[in-house]
Chains A and B, each alone.
Chain A
Amino acid sequence: MNRSSAQGADDPILQWVTFRLDNESYGINVMQVQEVLRYTEIAPVPGAPSYVLGIINLRGNVVTVIDTRQRFGLDSADVTDNSRVVIIEADKQVVGILVDSVAEVVYLRQSEVETAPNVGNDESAKFIQGVCNKNGELLILVELDKMMSEEEWSELESI
């Protein structure tokens, strides 16, 4: 995983883009975020997997948008003015993830990140990288590369 910056070899400082989903805060590595877009019309793709919302046209490039709520096992929600599509690079692919809102970029020391409980059998539990207290609330750090299985990443590539 790329590290955005380092302060000392032992305890590097990492930058995370935070977003909200279902009233919880999540963080993703800033180095994997290319840009943040306002919600734009997403064209559904017939026959696409259920976790794919559709595709968008990003300056002439087709980008697949993932249904992050579905991926995280959360109920679906209506799009609002705060909804954003975060364009990320994961598993050597550029994809978009739809989130309720994007908040800020936070700096976290590696030592501040705690491991998540290893008790879930659900596939989605595997992409929780850790948790961290920041600004009075708990931030759930997501490992984007693990958000899909190898097969699913391949499937996305072929859309």
Chain B
Amino acid sequence: MSRSVATATRPQLALQSYLDGLLQEAALELADSASQDEFEAAVLEEKVRDARQVSVAPQQPEKLALVAMPQPEREASPVLIEPLAEVHLAAPPPTPAAKLHLDGRPEWAQEPFECLLFDVAGLTLAVPLVCLGSIYPLVGEELTPLFGQPDWFLGILPCQAGNLKVLDAARWVMPDRYRDDFRQGLQYVISVEGYEWGLAVHQVSRSIRLDPNEVKWRSLRTQRPWLAGTVIEHMCALLDVAALAELIASGAAKRMVNGQVH
């Protein structure tokens, strides 16, 4: 897949803006922390600057390959959708009350871990494979909406594993920048292991192996517990989808305004 510089600029700018926001938030957290010294804050500022430079520079598009994703061969009107790929690793899934270490690292991030990269409205996000279930095609499928639900709830997708409740990932991660046309072109639903919830995304790209030290972990998860941290090298945000699913399953998402829990 190739992208011209012109077409890549808009999503890149959106990405840059979004990551800047996250990193500034991280910088504020650091500034508030008595354990961090000025040197570390300066290093963080450098990272922010680097991130800006990286995102503005035209990049060679990477070949998207990976997650064994054959073109969907669906029947004319499938009733139950089969997953395109099982992305869950053999490692034990995190429990709902997954422990969060003091440095903000979840239990699954104590060692290098595999992540799946996907795209939501031009923004690249990463999720740890241990937290993922399956990938289901959404093109040509109809979600059944339910009345009285929040706007981030897109509907129910009947699939092999049962009725998957589908949420609009874009509304969660960028509620301030959300536009109605983001609803167009959603192609896949990525289910969360151990939960009956899935994320609707625009594109699934590839998996990467991340060293925990590559991630700027968020130690304070009070406002957006589903955001684990940011990965500068890949210019993406790392989602803790288990925390996200738990937030929804526990009913705490009812208190959410603009992607933040109040």
Please report A residues at the B interface, Cβ cutoff 8 Å: 24, 72-74, 114, 116-126, 128, 131, 133, 136-138, 140
Contact = CB atoms under 8 A, between A and B. Distances in A.
Contacts of A120: 146, 148-150, 153, 254
23 contacts: A116-B146, A117-B149, A117-B153, A118-B251, A119-B153, A120-B254, A121-B150, A121-B254, A122-B147, A122-B148, A122-B149, A125-B147, A128-B146, A128-B148, A131-B144, A131-B163, A133-B79, A133-B80, A133-B163, A138-B144, A138-B156, A138-B158, A138-B163
Nearest to B79: A136
With most chain A CB atoms within 10 A of its CB, the pick from B79, B145, B149, B253 is: B149
A119 B80 CA distance: 24
A140 B158 CA distance: 13
A126 B148 contact: yes
B251 A119 contact: yes
Contacts of B254: 119-121
B148 A133 contact: no
Given A119-B253, A120-B150, A120-B153, A24 B248 contact: no
Contacts of A131: 144, 146, 156, 163
B162 A119 contact: no
With most chain A CB atoms within 10 A of its CB, the pick from B145, B147, B150 is: B147
Interface residues of B, number: 20
A133 B253 CA distance: 26
B198 to A, nearest CB: 12
Given A119-B248, A131-B156, A114 B146 contact: no
Interface of B: 77, 79-80, 144-150, 153, 156, 158, 162-163, 165, 248, 251, 253-254
A118 B80 CA distance: 23
A131 B146 CA distance: 10
B162 to A, nearest CB: 7
With most chain B CB atoms within 10 A of its CB, the pick from A72, A117, A120, A126 is: A117
Nearest to A140: B146
A128 B147 contact: yes
A121 B79 CA distance: 30
Contact of A119 (B79, B144, B149, B158): B149
Nearest to A142: B147
A72 B251 CA distance: 21
A136 B148 contact: no
A63 B243 CA distance: 49
Contact of B147 (A72, A119, A138): A72
Contact of B148 (A24, A125, A137, A138): A125
A128 B163 CA distance: 15
With most chain B CB atoms within 10 A of its CB, the pick from A118, A124, A138 is: A138
Nearest to A125: B148
A124 B147 CA distance: 7
A78 B153 CA distance: 27
B165 A117 contact: yes
Given A119-B251, A119-B253, A138-B163, A125 B77 contact: no
Given A114-B163, A119-B153, A131-B156, A140 B148 contact: no
B251 A133 contact: no
Contacts of B144: 24, 131, 137-138, 140
The 3 closest A-B pairs by CB, nearest first: A125-B148, A124-B148, A122-B148
Contacts of B146: 116-117, 120, 125, 128, 131, 140
B156 A125 contact: no
Nearest to A114: B163
A32 B246 CA distance: 36
A127 B1 CA distance: 47
A20 to B, nearest CB: 12
Contacts of B158: 133, 138
Contacts of A124: 147-148
A117 B164 CA distance: 10
